[in-house]
Structures are given as C-alpha cells and as structure tokens.
Amino acid sequence: MLKLLGLLLKIAGYTVLTLVVVAAAYVFWLSGSSHEPTSVRTASAYTSPGGPILVFGGNRATGLDIVRKLRERGESVTVAVRPSSDTSELTALGVETVVANALDAEQVQAAFAGKPYAAVISTLGTTRGDQKNRPDYVGNRNVIDAAKMNGVKRMVFITVIGAGDSREAAPLPSRRFLAEVMELKTRAEDHLRASGLEYTIIRPGGLGDVKATGTAVLTEDPQAFSYISRTDLADLAVQALGDPAAANKTYTAFDPSRPTLWKMFND
C-alpha cells in the first residue's frame, strides 16, 4: 500500500512538473506568435491637436514616456498627479502639473478648468485593489465625462489586450489573472465610445521597460498579440494623437519583433 501511495505521489509530481513546463513554454515561446495581424496602420506625419494636452497617469511608466515625446514635439503638456506624486522629472521637462485624484469626479473636473485643453490622454490603470478604488473604470469614466463637459475634442486611451473583442487574443494566463482588469477596461472603452468624444483606443499586450525596437505598429486586428516596449507604445500613442485619420479607431499595439515573452528577455 505504501509503495502504491509513493508511486502515485511520484506520478502526481511528474504531472505537475510537466504542466509547469508546458505553461512556461507557452508563455515564453508560443503566446502571441501564431497570428499575423491584418489592417496595419501606416504611420503618418504628426499634426498637433492645436492646443494644450492634459495627461492622466503621466508621471511614470508609459505615461511619462508619452509626456517626453509630446514635449519633444513642442507641445504644451499638463499632467494630473496625486499630492504624493514625484514630479521632479515632469518639472525637468517643463511640464505643468495639477493635483487631482482620478477617483474624485470633482477634482477631475477642476483639473480641466485651468486651460482650454485640445486633447486628453489617459494611461490610468492598476492590477491592485478592489474595483471601487481602482481607476481602470471609475477613474477613466471621470476623465471622459470631464473632458466632454469641458469641450475637449480628442482623447487617446491606453487600455489592454483582452478588453472588448480582443479577449481571445490575450494569453490564457492573462485571461485568468487579469480578468477583472479586462472587464473594467472594457467598460471604460465602451463609455468613451458612447461619449461623443473623438477617441483613439490603444490596447498593448505585454509591456516591458526594455529598449525600443522602432518596429511597433498599430493594427485594427483585435486578434493580434505581442509584447512591446513602453517607449514604443508611447511613440504609437503620440503618432495616433497626431493623426486625424486615427480618430474613432480601436487599435492593438503590435511589435512583430517581439511576438513572445522570450523575445523581451532575449533582446
């Protein structure tokens, strides 16, 4: 009996190990590599939105890269920040800030009052906390509503592959562990489309603080998936803002040189 139990435990151990290896292989080598996107957008010359730009989520990560690229183009940029946010890099870039908690609708409304903003960009999102204390839907809804009420014409919104009709494009582990994020982002996307604002929604897949490749593109194919540098994503967001033809479009950010997670580590 003990021998049989030992054998069963050994088999169970091998089974678990095999599943782990298969899952790792899927994530590192296979996810994202089986689909070539269609409807790839051709980059166009940048056209300024013609006025100041307000950015939510612009003090770090992808948002900060977007701010840098906008300033390189000479745009007037204001970033909405929390009272505790580190704004030293923004100050060095010559960027103004306004204090606003995205979860507070009144504070968000007040953030728009200072200037006649021509466009707003949001990278708001998190994977932590309960739904009511996360900006993925509530915060972005507040930004969308305030932009509409203050006469802003254009919004660029960074969401995630897995939202809306792109759910099946996300790797299986993402669909499980980021299911709540995807749901909240979907609701925010739908709210933006119904708002009447001119919008561009950009869905990245796996994001990393890795070197830019310069090969990333935007595609209207919701089944596309790849990994991407934050810097490349920022470049795509600014390109979309500066292209009137990108208005009222939902794109996937796709880097053909990084179809799998392995390529992120290998580059």
pLDDT exceeds cutoff 90 at 53: yes
Are residues 67 and 90 in contact, defined by beta-carbon separation less than 8 angstroms?
Answer: yes
Positive or negative: CA dihedral 151, 153, 159, 162: positive
Calculate the alpha carbon distances from 245 to 42, 44, 52, 184 in Å. Answer: 11, 9, 20, 27
Positive or negative: CA dihedral 212, 213, 219, 223: negative
Name the residue ranges covered by the structural domains of the chain: 31-266
* Residue found by looking up tokens 């151990």 in the block: 13
Q: How confident is the model at residue 10 (pLDDT cuts 50, 70, 90)?
A: low
Tell me the chain's radius of gyration from C-alpha atoms. 20
Are residues 70 and 43 in contact, defined by beta-carbon separation less than 8 angstroms?
Answer: no
* Superfamily (CATH H level) for 31-266: NAD(P)-binding Rossmann-like Domain (3.40.50.720)
pLDDT exceeds cutoff 60 at 14: no
Q: How confident is the model at residue 174 (pLDDT cuts 50, 70, 90)?
A: confident
pLDDT exceeds cutoff 80 at 164: yes
Give the pLDDT confidence score for residue 263 in this predicted structure: 57
More confident residue, 61 or 177: 61
Q: How confident is the model at residue 225 (pLDDT cuts 50, 70, 90)?
A: very high
Q: What is the mean pLDDT of residues 170-190?
A: 89
Gap between the Cα atoms of 134 and 153, Å rounded: 26
Q: How confident is the model at residue 18 (pLDDT cuts 50, 70, 90)?
A: very low
Token pair for 229: 């540098």
pLDDT exceeds cutoff 90 at 106: yes
Gap between the Cα atoms of 45 and 54, Å rounded: 22
Gap between the Cα atoms of 106 and 34, Å rounded: 46
Q: How confident is the model at residue 23 (pLDDT cuts 50, 70, 90)?
A: very low
Which letter does DSSP use for residue 50 in this model? S
